[in-house]
Amino acid sequence: MKLKRKDVLGLREMERGEIEMVLDSAARFKEILARPVKKVPTLRGRSMITLFYENSTRTRTSFELAAKIMSAEAINIAVAQSSSAKGESLKDTLLTLQALSADCVVIRHPNAGAPHLAARLVDIPIINAGDGFHEHPTQGLLDLLTIREHKSTFEGLNVTIIGDLLHSRVARSAIWGLLKMGANVTLCGPHTLLPPEFAATGARLETNCDAAVEGADVIMMLRLQNERMDGVYLPGVREYSALYGLNARRLAKAKPDAIVMHPGPINRGVEIADDVADDETSRGGRTVILQQVQNGVAVRMTLLYLLLGGSEE
């Protein structure tokens, strides 16, 4: 089984059938993660290089784990210590990695479109691990897998995404993925962080957080991305938290079986209250943040398998 494409760059260009194939395969790959010995020979002899120009805990680590579980070589380029610090271009870095016989490059870059450029420059598969404000497709896929584990269908599901939509590549991938799967998507945030262009996707825009949460099946909270803010978007963090933070009182307006998601890293006490963040479904609660992290490994195993064409051993 292989994907129809050489690269995974975004959910906007992926067809619903491809997304379903990834989710179905990831559900099967999860079985490997439950074994006492988490190792299969599927990608023996293959190599994956992670090239991250921005910080990461979840995405980079889960790609490395995914490759190692499938017996591939996982090599991380520490960008700050690499020749890019001497002025080497992205193009020359990629051509060098290809010449070193890398089978796949996973790239995170602050500039939107950098993975698309990379995909045109080299013949090996490129996986977008987050490009600027643009897309974070592997996060979108793990979010869809997590929702599918709790809800019987995406059709007609009410998903509310709250927070810093303007700077969120996670939200952009989630919006494309959820709409393709048939969900109703509501986007909520202050005017300054909720670009009106999002209405063209088919999502509903809402600045009143209580109204956005009302009747939701899924609530996805987003981090305030202070590191990407080059101006004043908010009167203050305390006011933002009061108007847009998820606490138990606000969550009570959602459906009784609504789940709470967050891609991480979370700003505790800002977009999500401590008691909501820690109320994991594994202990009978409503929050699936750590399940999202676990599903990230299965989704990334699946993409490596589908792109690198591993053996069926």
Which one, of 198, 176, 189, 251, lies nearest residue 224 by Cα? 189
For residue 70, the number of C-alpha atoms closer than 13 Å in the C-beta half-sphere is 31
In the sheet that 47-52 helps form, which strands lie side by side, from edge to edge?
A: 73-77, 47-52, 104-109, 126-131
Estimate the crossing angle of helix 58-69 against helix 289-308, to 10 degrees.
50
> Binding to ligand CP by residue 177, rule CB under 6 A?
no
Q: Among 58, 151, 253, 255, which residue interacts with ligand CP (rule: CB under 6 A)? A: 58
Closest CB to ligand CP among 57 and 208? Answer: 57
Place of tokens 């990379």: 118
Closest CB to ligand CP among 126 and 171? Answer: 171
Long-range CB pairs of 235-242, under 8 A, 24+ apart, other chains included: 237/270, 240/190, 240/270, 241/269, 241/270, 241/271
For residue 273, the number of C-alpha atoms closer than 13 Å in the C-beta half-sphere is 14
Select the span of 55-63, 80-88, 112-120, 154-162 touching ligand CP (CB under 6 A).
55-63
Q: Among 1, 45, 57, 83, which residue interacts with ligand CP (rule: CB under 6 A)? A: 57
Q: How far is the CB of 146 from ligand CP (least distance, A)?
A: 12
Please work out, in degrees rounded to the nearest 5, the angle formed at the alpha carbon of residue 251 by the alpha carbons of 245 and 256. 165
Q: Among 47, 50, 59, 128, which residue interacts with ligand CP (rule: CB under 6 A)? A: 59
Which one, of 148, 200, 147, 203, lies nearest residue 171 by Cα? 203
Q: Are 186 and 229 in contact (CB under 8 A)?
A: no
Q: How far is the CB of 172 from ligand CP (least distance, A)?
A: 13
Q: How far is the CB of 59 from ligand CP (least distance, A)?
A: 3
Q: How far is the CB of 36 from ligand CP (least distance, A)?
A: 27
Place of tokens 């491809």: 18
Closest CB to ligand CP among 168 and 302? Answer: 168
Q: How far is the CB of 72 from ligand CP (least distance, A)?
A: 19
Place of tokens 């101006």: 231
Closest CB to ligand CP among 137 and 189? Answer: 137
Q: How far is the CB of 45 from ligand CP (least distance, A)?
A: 27
Select the span of 24-32, 52-60, 176-184, 245-253 touching ligand CP (CB under 6 A).
52-60
Closest CB to ligand CP among 40 and 218? Answer: 218
> Binding to ligand CP by residue 6, rule CB under 6 A?
no
Q: How far is the CB of 290 from ligand CP (least distance, A)?
A: 12
Q: How far is the CB of 138 from ligand CP (least distance, A)?
A: 8
Q: Among 18, 24, 33, 56, which residue interacts with ligand CP (rule: CB under 6 A)? A: 56
> Binding to ligand CP by residue 173, rule CB under 6 A?
no
For residue 72, the number of C-alpha atoms closer than 13 Å in the C-beta half-sphere is 31
Strands (E) across the chain are located at 47-52, 73-77, 104-109, 126-131, 158-162, 184-188, 204-206, 218-221, 259-261
Q: Among 263, 287, 303, 308, which residue interacts with ligand CP (rule: CB under 6 A)? A: 263
Q: Are 218 and 157 in contact (CB under 8 A)?
A: yes
What x-and-dash track marks residues 130-169 binding ligand CP by CB under 6 A? x-----x--x------------------------------
Q: Are 240 and 191 in contact (CB under 8 A)?
A: no
The residues of the shown chain that bind ligand CP, judged by CB under 6 A, are 56-59, 130, 136, 139, 263-265
